[in-house]
Structure 1
Amino acid sequence: MGPNQGFGGTLWMIFLFALFASGSGENDRDFKMCGTWCHGNGLLTLAHDLKRGCGTITISANESSLSIRGEITAQCENSSVIKLDPSPGARERHFCVYWEPLLDQLWVEVNGQNHTLCWPSGLQGNCCTDLSQGSNKGTSTYGILNATQRDDIISYKTHPAYEFFGEIINCKNKFCDEASQGSGDKVNMIEETVMRSKVLGNVVLPCALSSVVEMKEGFQGYNITLPAPQGVPPQMIPSVHLPSCLKPPEKKKVKVVCTYFKNSTLFQGCSKVDQNDIRILEDVVGITVENEIITNLPEPIRIGFHHSVIPTSHSRKCVSWDTKKDPTEVTWKKEGCETIQKGGEDTECHCNHLTYFAILVQLEPRPVRHLVALTVITSMGCAASTLSCVVLIYFLNTQRRAKDQSTAVHRGLAMALFLLSLFFFLTGTVANVGGNRACWAFGAALHYALLSSFSWMFIEVFHSFWLVYMVFSSSPNPYVWHLVGFGLPAVPVIVLLAIGKVYGVIEVVSSDDVNNPYLMCWMDVSPRSVGLLAHYFINLTFLAVVVISGLIMLFLVLRNIQNRDEWRKNKVAFLSIWGLSCLFGTTWGLGFLDFGQLSEFIPFLFCILNSLQGFFLMLRFYILDRMRKQSRSSLDGSTASSTRQHMLQEKS
């Protein structure tokens, strides 16, 4: 088929060449009887006498003749004697008799030379098949030695003749049953058999409907009208336009087969997209050019699909079967096809190669509403936070007590938020420019920055709690905070990098334009992926710890300081400080509220508050520093000391 490029495509071309050169594929042969013909030194002939019907076929041999006689054909009636090439001195010749009832084709191979006794005459309905062996006709000097049926030994002795009995069945139904079972390569049987049937025009099978067109010299393109299944309106059938560049210029004429599969179940059993959130629409169209591999067409094949209405919340993509990866499995790929939407019920695929084509509908994840606005808000917020964190880090490093424990905690949070804001601001650019290879590393870095920010938010929460309830005790050594804040998040990221296939380019689908998603570097959170498990067990665990601890800390601190004189004197200032403090971690919990009527404004609130966390952090320290100056405190002016001065006084 068309998309087989490179080494895989070469193997497929060799297979097709061997198939057509020998006349049939091994999977399609209903009957194969082989043996060694023991004969004399004289003139040798191949005699046959074939009649219509379904009875007995006798394969016999004597000193000078190999004969095939019987009633097994549907259309073919042929009787003649063929002279065989002499082989002086030889008394044995290997031979095989092949019978394919679906095509009504019978041929004999003697010493490597093919002799067709009945040529294909279209696809037969009722035919004679399932040939079973009858009794052998004694033994003799001349005859058939080491006879086999489908490579199973019948007899090691020399017999003058073998009889086989057939029965009438519906060959088309049997053929479709065989094509629908097994792996993806079975689907190819349909188009291969249609190609070998020597029929031009429409070919109808229970599982597929084909149209065979012959491209001759001067071919200017062609619009194919595929046959419609019974009860299906013609306007519901896919349309196919073949461009003029499809015909190989070196050939005078060549056939092309377009096959329409109304039911995609032939492809579902071995499909790699058989997931709850992705499905293939019922219609599948396959296109094949005789003995050719077609890729990189200057003018695309155009395939129009008419389908049931696809909601705007679901994206759709034209996809093709990629047989380069594994011909035994149906792997759908988007590359090589352009999707043209023509309303909710019509989609046109423009593809530059030949294979099987279908429409892939993405049900999950659900498209994001107002994605453009949310992206702009997030980008502006991240830019502001990045700059704010730079200013704050400079401020913290210039304080007289830049090396004390409180400043070390604040500086660690500022550095983590700086990395998170910077990486998130750049993730879309890296995804569009660098692709999967760059996103493998950048996605891991973004994940690390997120986990590190969560860790430092928890440390900030714990440190504030320590200052309130352990006034006369020093907090743990800053090295411990750095180990937890920067070291702990690296562990799950390294493990996921070792597992592989977790980080890369992901698509965020917009409800306004489902076919032009926003690209970013992140974790693969598709169903049944390692990334999805990591998201639930790592990201959400970190987030839950931060949110819950932030809420608990806020409650305990308010209860502890609400009766102090400083609280009653300046409630607004304290509410501002501690309100900003609670932004660290608790605002990420808004993601759990994105449901029902809240889903309209919660995403905006989530993006605004979380993208501006670096700015809020700087604002908090600015307010604390200003309060310190206004109070003209005699303390050293550190943020922690200011906080204690205003908020941690002992109860009167």
Structure 2
Amino acid sequence: MEVRLADNLKTLLFLIVLLSPGSIEYDLFFNFCGTWRHGNGPLRLEVKLTPGCRGLSFAANESVLSVRGRLTAECNTDKVIELHEFGLHPEKDVGFCVYWEPLLDQFKMEVGGRNLTLCYPAVPLDSCCTDLTTGANAPAGTFGIFNATIMDDFITTKTRTAFRFRADAMGCKSLCDQADQDYLRSLLFSSGPSGPRLSCGHRSTMEMEDGFGGYNVSSPARPGSGSGSGSAVRVFVPPALRRSSNSSRVVFTFFNGNPLFQDGLQNLQNLQLLQDVVDITVENQVVTNLSEPVKIGFHHNAIPDQNRRSCVSWDVHRDPLQVRWLADGCATLARGDAHTECLCDHLTYFAVLVDLKPRPLRHLLALTCISLAGCAVSFVSCVALLVFFARKRRRPANNSNKSLPAHVGLAASLALLSLLFFLTGVIANAGREAACAWAAPLLHYALLSAFAWMGVEVFHIFWLMYVDTFGLPPPYVWILAGFVLPVLPVGVLVAVGDVYGLRELEQEGTRDTYLMCWMKLNPKARLAHYFTNLTLLAVLVLAGSVVLVFVYLKIRNRAEWRQNRVMVLSMWGFILLFGTSWGLAFLDFGPLSDFVLFLFCFLNSFQGFFLMIQFCLLDWMKRRSDRGSSSTSTRNTY
């Protein structure tokens, strides 16, 4: 019943779309392709496009490929392009394609695999030139165009000297409405849009009068743009623009989803240009080196911190034929994961470029050396600590020590974590992806197990201090919590798949990389990291900090705590047991970021070593004090 109702609703919407005004189909774009058969001399491309709506023609001879037309709204271009500048030589026939989009007044040509922008994207105000139809046939020749196609349909395989097309003018608003209707049909009768949405763009103008104090303008509201009002782009032009320009009229043009702007990224991997692009111009003038920057705020979907974003611009005066995005003249301010502000000292096309490859790590070599040294020392220290606990347990006086099972579990889990982290680089380089398929889940299990045993220590100390010394759960409960429970999330992630694998870390400013087995960088793995590692760590640090305060309030007035060394040593011991130092992971920001990063790396990689020193000192102090006084409850907790 529900399926039939949904089908009926789709049919009703389809009829509404068909019967709505302006439902006559026009061509939203035009493309013509062919192969140019030429001579052996130098080759050149001649292009002449003017405003109007009469038609378009292509002609070719031994050395010249000519494109002439009167079909643009505003574009007026007359160019002679020597094709050897683009690496095209006369040994082979040259394939080419022409793409015309009347909604954007955009004319692009692909010659020998090179994209040339001949008319830049704009927004026609009134009339759009479309529906190009074949005109009179040109004679065949030795040199010319063969294998010609229109909209991927073959015209002829013969070599002709020219092809001509007639065009018709129509209102741009009707054409834009048709584009919206086509997009709606693709949503209603398929699982998603059949291709990129043809956006009409939006144009806004502003006059700078005397006493101009700046101006704010926003793109049209659009659902899902990431901002509260729905405007994806907001622009502020400063008063300095009026002083730097002879003209008073400023034109703002907003684009969304135009594939042309992606052309500059064809040979660049791991880079993505966000869909929103804004063009800011002052009529008949090139504006550069503004004393106050233009502010452009882009609201977008959330971008993870590890992906670098940059404000970029395409200067059509520097690169008039090919799209080339540069960061020159723009500063980037990240105002949150879904808001980027660009401060630029010139006017042209602006967008946000995202590096899909993780942000290079600061001080990777130094941090790696510290981590590996710390893990090696901690592994040896934890093994020594386990031997120490085993010998201590044999003493009759320690049989009643309720804390010993928790300490043993923590030392064992830290030993496993230190060993696996020390070996992960070797495993990743030797076995690559195949070895990381099992090494990465094992390392994740060791980390979760260490966190779990730190949580056991938090609960254990709180129970001893505030609840009941004799009512502690039996040791097998701690073993289940510390060693068995972490198997569940790791097992689920392994079953889900595509979470664990080879991870490559890059040193900032160099090409040096470090391989390790860990979680991947896809959205699935990132979500798993947030819900397992960061969530558990946040709960652990919060609980440990709270219990640390409770313990301090409970025993601060005891006689032995009046000795500073006992107080400092005891509090440091609780911090190690509770894993509070791992909370530095949440403080990696601001001017002290580097200091926090090194402190986090040092304290946590050497955690096993510090624990060994802590327990050995406490044991020494306990044996020394037992010679003259009885033991205290503070020491019994260790």
TM-score, normalised to structure 1, is 0.48
Q: Over alpha carbons, which structure has the higher Rg?
A: 1
TM-score, structure 2 as length reference: 0.49
